[in-house]
């Protein structure tokens, strides 16, 4: 059977399982099992994939990196730093437009499944007394929640993609950072600028002590991300080591500020067997593509086509992003192909990430979109319309720049 028909069948199976609330890892592995049955149903392929997965350092780097991301989230949440940052920014800005755009963007630095549910009440509260439609509030919350997908080194899709493609997280963040600025600008142009209302917010009067606490909260919330990037870039540390160092260093810092969080709560609370299961399944799926020869067949087929490789990768990532609605989905399927075609290529990895994110931003399979629409009780298509327009601006900008600068 044609390898692309097999891949299409596997993707359909994955999407169906996701629709039935199957976890992303087992769903993707089920697609891999389908490919194994039709291509090379041998015990050798299974054991070779398992041996490769458990012998690679990237497996453990990825798992520990994501584990420490969850540790950091617990530290910032339970210490009150996240809540303090939100309150500080709310007091600092006198413009409702700035508040409803910046709040979801800041909270998007710390990823969590369905995280748009956390920022939705903040956007809703900031818009009280304003004539802003439900659809506008929903679109704003959903869009700005995800503008940091290209700039945060602790986004799971970013960590997973770099581990698969054998490139540095810091390098890819630097390569794509400007896209977060473009995404913010596109969202502002399409969703914020057209809003017509009279600003009624007044800059809150605060005491010097309150201002000092506000600055501390904002700095504490953002510093871990910036320090992680610095450690990875300056010392060429892996994501796991950099994140682990930040988490450990934050323990005495929070304690000195009388915001200490129980070490047990941090390190035990962050252990999530579902996360380990999902990542293990995804990594095993990737190795199964290699051991069965499917990855080699795909790469050979791509090399023989007349279409440019970036175009193929872009289209594939976009479609899979739409089908799965998750960064781990399009990353797990497309990044192995990127690694096989152009090992270490930041340009091709960037294409895969940007177009994959674009696909997941316009699909109802994206959990955050569903949660946002449900919270604001907005119309799906009216909410999606400005998102589609903003995403088109992002893709056009990225495509033109990539075409002009491709090395």
Residue given tokens 């995804």 in the structure block: 282
**Buried (b) or exposed (e) across 352-374, using 16+ Cβ within 10 A?**
bbbbbbbbbbbbebbbbbbbbbe
Question: Contact, 138 vs 390, CB < 8 A?
Answer: no
CB neighbours (10 Å) of residue 393?
16
Mention every residue, 6+ apart, whose C-beta is less than 8 A from residue 321: 327, 329, 330, 355, 356, 357, 358, 359, 360, 361, 363
State the pLDDT at residue 201: 58
Q: Classify residue 91 as exposed, middle or buried by CB count within 10 Å of its CB (0-12, 13-18, 19+).
A: middle
Helix (H) or strand (E) holding 47: helix 43-55
Q: Tokens representing 203? A: 């800059």
122-128 CB contacts, 8 Å cutoff, 24+ apart: 122/86, 122/90, 124/375, 124/376, 126/90, 126/96, 126/99, 126/100, 127/96, 127/100
Q: What's the whole-model pTM score?
A: 0.73
Mention every residue, 6+ apart, whose C-beta is less than 8 A from residue 299: 337, 340, 341
CB neighbours (10 Å) of residue 47?
11
Q: Tokens representing 323? A: 């089908």
Mention every residue, 6+ apart, whose C-beta is less than 8 A from residue 208: none
How many Å apart are CA 18 and CA 24, to the nearest integer?
A: 7
Q: Tokens representing 286? A: 């990737």
How many Å apart are CA 175 and CA 349, to the nearest integer?
A: 10
Mention every residue, 6+ apart, whose C-beta is less than 8 A from residue 48: 287, 291
State the pLDDT at residue 50: 93
Radius of gyration of the chain (CA): 22
Concatenate the DSSP letters of all residues of 319-386 into one string: HHHHHH-SHHHHHHHHHHHHHHHSTT-HHHHHHHHHHHHHHHTT-TT-HHHHHHHHHHT--HHHHHHH
Nearest to 27 by CA among 43, 10, 4: 10
State the pLDDT at residue 112: 56
Tell me how many degrees the CA angle 167-172-174 measures, rounded to the nearest 5. Answer: 140
Mention every residue, 6+ apart, whose C-beta is less than 8 A from residue 283: 53, 59, 62
Mention every residue, 6+ apart, whose C-beta is less than 8 A from residue 241: 231
Chain centroid, CA 385 distance in Å: 22
Q: Tokens representing 338? A: 């990127």
State the pLDDT at residue 146: 92
Distances (CA, A) of 296 to 66, 175, 267, 367: 29, 28, 40, 33
State the pLDDT at residue 117: 65
The per-residue pLDDT string of the chain (407 residues; one tens digit each, 9 = 90 and over) reads 687 788 888 888 887 887 787 887 888 889 889 989 999 999 999 999 999 889 987 788 878 887 887 888 788 888 888 778 767 777 777 777 888 898 888 777 765 544 566 678 778 877 877 788 999 999 999 999 999 888 888 787 888 888 888 888 889 999 999 999 999 999 999 999 998 876 665 666 778 888 888 888 888 877 887 888 788 778 878 878 988 999 999 999 999 988 889 999 999 988 878 778 877 887 888 788 889 888 778 777 776 777 888 998 998 888 888 866 777 778 888 898 888 888 888 999 999 999 999 989 988 767 778 778 888 888 888 998 999 999 999 999 999 999 998 86
């Amino acid at each position: 059977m044609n390898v692309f028909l097999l891949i299409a069948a596997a993707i359909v199976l994955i999407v169906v399982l996701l629709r039935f609330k199957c976890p992303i890892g087992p769903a993707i592995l089920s697609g891999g099992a389908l490919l194994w049955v039709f291509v090379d149903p041998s015990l050798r392929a299974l054991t070779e994939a398992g041996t490769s997965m458990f012998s690679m350092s990237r497996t453990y780097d990825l798992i520990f990196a994501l584990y420490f991301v969850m540790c950091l989230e617990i530290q910032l949440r339970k210490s009150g730093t996240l809540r303090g940052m939100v309150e500080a920014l709310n007091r600092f800005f006198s413009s409702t437009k700035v508040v409803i755009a910046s709040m979801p963007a800041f909270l998007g630095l710390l990823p969590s499944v369905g995280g748009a549910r956390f920022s939705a009440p903040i956007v809703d509260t900031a818009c009280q007394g304003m004539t802003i439609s439900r659809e506008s509030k929903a679109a704003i919350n959903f869009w700005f929640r995800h503008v940091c997908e290209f700039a945060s080194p602790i986004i799971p899709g970013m960590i997973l993609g770099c581990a698969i493609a054998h490139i540095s997280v810091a390098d890819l963040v630097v390569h794509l950072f400007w896209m977060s600025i473009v995404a913010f600008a596109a969202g502002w142009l399409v969703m914020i600028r057209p809003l017509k209302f009279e600003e009624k917010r007044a800059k809150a009067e605060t005491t010097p002590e309150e201002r000092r606490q506000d600055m501390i909260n904002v700095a504490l919330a953002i510093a871990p991300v910036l320090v992680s990037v610095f450690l990875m870039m300056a010392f060429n540390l892996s994501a796991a080591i950099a994140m682990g160092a930040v988490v450990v260093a934050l323990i005495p810092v929070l304690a000195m500020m009388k915001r200490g969080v129980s070490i047990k709560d941090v390190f035990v609370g962050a252990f999530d067997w579902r996360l380990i299961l999902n990542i293990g399944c995804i990594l095993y799926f990737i190795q199964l593509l290699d051991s069965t020869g499917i990855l080699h067949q795909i790469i050979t087929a791509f090399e023989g086509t007349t279409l440019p490789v970036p175009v193929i990768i872009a289209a594939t990532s976009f479609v899979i992003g739409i089908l799965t609605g998750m960064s781990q989905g399009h990353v797990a399927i497309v990044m192995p192909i990127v690694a096989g075609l152009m090992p270490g290529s930041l340009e091709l990895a960037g294409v895969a990430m940007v177009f994959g994110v674009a696909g997941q931003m316009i699909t109802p399979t994206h959990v955050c979109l569903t949660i946002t629409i449900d919270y604001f009780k907005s119309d799906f298509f009216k909410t999606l319309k400005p998102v589609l327009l903003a995403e088109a601006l992002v893709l056009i900008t990225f495509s033109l720049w990539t075409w002009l600068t491709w090395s």
